[in-house]
Amino acid sequence: MTDTIDPDAFEVTTPDHGRFSIVHTTSRQEWKAARRAHLTATEVAMLAALRPADWERLRREKAGEEPGFGGNAATDWGHEREPHIIAHLAENADPTLRANDQLVVSLADPRFAGTPDAISEDGRTLGEAKTSNHPLAPEDRPQRYEDQAQWNLLVTGAQALVIGIEEHDDQQEIIGTRMGWIWPDPQRQAELIAIAERFLAGGNPVPATDDERLSEAIDEYSALRDMEKRIKAALKEKEPPLRELIGPDEGRWASRTWQIRQTAPTTTTRVDAKAVAADFPEVAEKCAVTSVTRGKLLAPTRIERGGK
């Protein structure tokens, strides 16, 4: 075994904004022990590369049979530069961003977690700090950066993530920091959830049988439906105050990031089919059209399993 720290021994709290919970640790050893009970952003981004050796190694790490990656000169440099990059993000993107070194856990699924480099006070914005020894624009970020960002957005329920990539000359001279925004991508998040579910179920990196492919399709579909449900609930809450602010007339309104448009009020007329059937049954019968439609996919329900 790599350590004897119980990952359930740490204090867990939920901030006032209620977007996620925080596992409080006081050392890197405790943080690593806490991570072992969850799938994190770094781990899911690695799993998404679909390399069998990585999957097997992570399973051994989760079982406490291997210590996991301990870092190298590049990661040490990244940790050293992280506060400077986060300060740049706070100055240029969101002044309420604060550095974070605690594990945060999804309230929707406590198996999923991450450690964003920075979190805003209201939990709506995340920050990620990266370093590179060559020019790297945020829009050209590697897929592992994208997947890590999408997982952290999923776990926290944040609305946006700002990434800062600081270029250096072989750790000798700081050349500059490029900044870009990453928005939630429900399709990719659903794919990552399906990968995570497959890993947790003991499956293979790439589905090999019809049953495995069906399981993956169910996981992706169900994850999207779950997101859709939460998004619809949030929209239902946010739309009335927005409409009150913009009024009933046609127009366009914009924030610093988004623009919305409202069309002019319209009047529609429809036929009351029930009234026609009641008052003119012969007409209703004559105009009736019979068709056969495929069965409806009902809302997925989560299977409760014992343990974590």
User: CATH no. for residue 116?
Assistant: 3.90.320.10
Residue 270 lies in a domain: no
Q: What's the rounded Cα separation, in Å, for the pair 223 and 189?
A: 8
Asked if the structure places residue 72 within a domain, the reply is yes
Tokens of 121: 């006070």
Query: Residue 131's beta-bridge partner residues?
Result: 166
pTM above 0.85, yes or no: no
pLDDT per position as a tens digit, 104-131: 999 999 999 999 999 999 999 999 999 9
pLDDT at 308 (0 to 100): 42
Reported confidence tier of residue 255, pLDDT bands at 50, 70, 90: confident
Number of neighbouring beta carbons within 10 Å of residue 230? 12
**DSSP conformation class of 302:** P
Q: Which residues, in sequence order, are bridge partners of residue 21? A: 105
Question: Is residue 150 one of the residues assigned to a domain?
Answer: yes
Mean pLDDT across 138-165: 95
121-140 in b/e form (b: 16+ CB < 10 A) is: eebbbbbbbbbbeeebebee
Using only C-alpha atoms, the chain has a radius of gyration, in whole angstroms, of 24
Structural domain contains residue 294:
no
Query: Does 230 reside within a domain?
Result: no
Beta strands 118-119 and 125-132, pairing class: antiparallel
Question: Structurally, how many domains does the chain consist of?
Answer: 1
**Per-residue pLDDT band at 208 (split at 50, 70, 90):** confident
For residue 304, being part of any structural domain is answered with no
Look at residue 69 in the predicted model and tell me its pLDDT: 62
How large is the average pLDDT for residues 152-172? Answer: 91
DSSP assignment string, 121-136: TTSSEEEEEEEESS--
Provide the residue range defining the domain that includes 94. Answer: 11-200
- Cα dihedral sign, 30-36-42-46: positive
Q: What is the mean pLDDT of residues 180-189?
A: 96
| Residue/partner pairs of 187-191 with CB below 8 Å, 24 or more apart | 187/224, 188/146, 188/147, 188/150, 189/150, 189/151, 189/153, 189/154, 189/223, 189/227, 190/219, 190/220, 190/221, 190/223, 190/224, 190/227, 191/48, 191/220
State what percent of residues in the chain have pLDDT above 90. Answer: 62
Identify whether 63 is part of a domain. Answer: yes
Is residue 180 in some structural domain?
Answer: yes
Mean pLDDT of 6-24: 89
Q: How far is it, in rounded angstroms, from Cα 188 to Cα 126?
A: 18
Of 100, 99, 89, the C-alpha closest to 180 is 89
CA dist 144 to 85, 150, 151, 263, 294, Å? Answer: 19, 10, 10, 40, 39
